[in-house]
Amino acid sequence: MKVLVWLIPVIFGAGGVYAHVARSSSDVSEVRKEVTAHTKEGVGHTGTQVRLDKIETNQTQILTEQRSNAENIAAICQATGAKCK
């Protein structure tokens, strides 16, 4: 009788642990599917891709302007004999 009283909580506990592990593994496989689908799509939403393209275009323009400004400043410094840093 004592063994039966001792086994009941152990059996219920083991069942609870099994249910928790089964549900967790199901959740993990669901998240993996979502991550895999997201990585196949690339950036995600098309609006995001358009915004990223605009950002890249603007960065290219900024770099071009900075290069031009640096060349102009260097020419001014050389023409005036100033010690520009």
Q: Return the residue matching tokens 């993990």.
A: 28
> pLDDT tens, position by position, for the chain (85 residues)?
777 788 888 888 888 888 888 888 878 888 888 888 777 766 666 778 888 889 999 999 999 999 999 999 999 998 998 888 7
Same domain, 75 and 38: no
Host domain of residue 16: 1-42
On whether both 53 and 24 belong to a single domain, the answer is: no
Q: What per-residue confidence (pLDDT) applies to 13?
A: 87
Distance (Å) of CA 22 to CA 10, 26, 35: 18, 6, 20
Q: Which helix (H) or strand (E) holds 69?
A: helix 46-80
What 8-state DSSP symbol labels residue 45?
S
Q: Do residues 16 and 34 share a domain?
A: yes
pLDDT at residue 61, as a whole number: 97
Which H or E run contains 77? helix 46-80
Phi, psi (rounded to 5 degrees) for 65: -65, -40
pLDDT recorded at residue 41: 66
